[in-house]
A and B are shown apart, each in its own frame.
Chain A
Amino acid sequence: MIANYGFEDGSGSYYIAIDTDHCTDCKERGCLESCQNKVFEMELNDWDDEVAIIKKDYCNQLKSICAGCKPLVDRPELLPCEKACSFRSIVHTW
């Protein structure tokens, strides 16, 4: 399942997409440690599989929370959380 966490307001859309189908095969859980603001956590989904989610309280603040990893110049090709996911299942949409 592609889970899109985030929000849209007058300034734009700010979503992080997670392909949770790969979470069950993931042993490293790199996403949990890669984020300096610890926005990721693991949760049992409706089918009792452990998958990564964005913490509920952070969903509507991603624009500002993630700003630290998104410099205007010299931005890396992959952000720390995108890089930490060995399945490349995390994608920032802005």
Chain B
Amino acid sequence: MPPIDVELRNVIKEFPARRNETPVRAVDDVSLQIDDGEFFALLGPSGCGKTTTLRMIAGFEETTYGEILIRGKAVQHVPPFHRPVNTVFQDYALFPHMTVLQNVMFGLEMEGVKRAEARTRAIQALELVRLPKAIDRKPRQLSGGQQQRVALARALVKKPTVLLLDEPLGALDLKLRKEMQFELKTMQRNLGITFIFVTHDQEEAMTMADRIAVMDQGKVLQVGTPEEIYETPATQFVADFIGETNFIRGNVLSSNGKYITVKLDETTTMKAVSDQPVADNQEVLIALRPEKINVFAAKGTIQYDEGSSESTEDYKKALLRDPNINLMRAKVLQDVYIGTDTRYSLDIPGNQDIVARVQNFGLRSDTYFTSGQEINIFWNAENARVLTK
């Protein structure tokens, strides 16, 4: 286990009330442990408290309650200029009256590093972010991407224990953002510095972070690896916020360990997985990712590209040998072709609408269905998870 670099213990941040209003609790009892060398993302919609959390770690906001520890030392009362953390600000906050080099040297000068050495180290930092040629320019003469690199160099040159990044890629266009995501990730690996990173973009968090804390309304809802968060979302909010999810409603018919059987209507049941015990007849909400749903034709024969064929009935029988397979009829409400996949809106028993994303392999005859068609759909019960509220 790597040592813990940053720890938040029951941190609360309340902003004082304006006239006739109750205080706003921006961060509500957040506890986190961030390991040394970890790339950690705070993910959530705007106003969820992620930036306030970051600002408390940086020292720009005081905690109302709770403790923040950096390398085991409580820092709530340490001013930002004495904390071993540095920040890449959302709009970079590069000093406009200084050149790129002066910006990067500033932090070293404040440490009392000699000018010549500060200059050498600043140039090294600018080489690290691949911007060594622009040292004498003013920030406003640089593109957004270049400014971002300067902000990064300015923070990294201080060799912080923890680097905080507040939506650092938010101002960049899509292509540049993708490039920077990989560059940041590589840089973080090579430097071994802990990165704590705030974003509202779930894809960005998934791409870069080792672990993600999903926040909403000041609370941390779930902490886990991108895979854990995506595959086993803890709450409806997390499931909905990270990627696309179908929510299927049903009543528990029976349960057997973590497997439960849920009734969708009088004639249809499905199996799902629940981490918590459920009572019979309890109404549950089941999360099912669109890409976990498979489709095939309702009747006739499936022709495969390599020449063989199979009747849909045989195909069905083969599938049902696995007791964890949920198979049912659905009606296509809408079909949207989006290149790599097709998105189907489906009406399933119990009068519920779900979405299925099917990759366009093009290896079999029943590849494309159109609205109004009856089809078979199936998925593994392991992928259908009961959500806690």
- A is bound by B: no
Residues of B within 8 A of A (CB): none
Residues of A within 8 A of B (CB): none
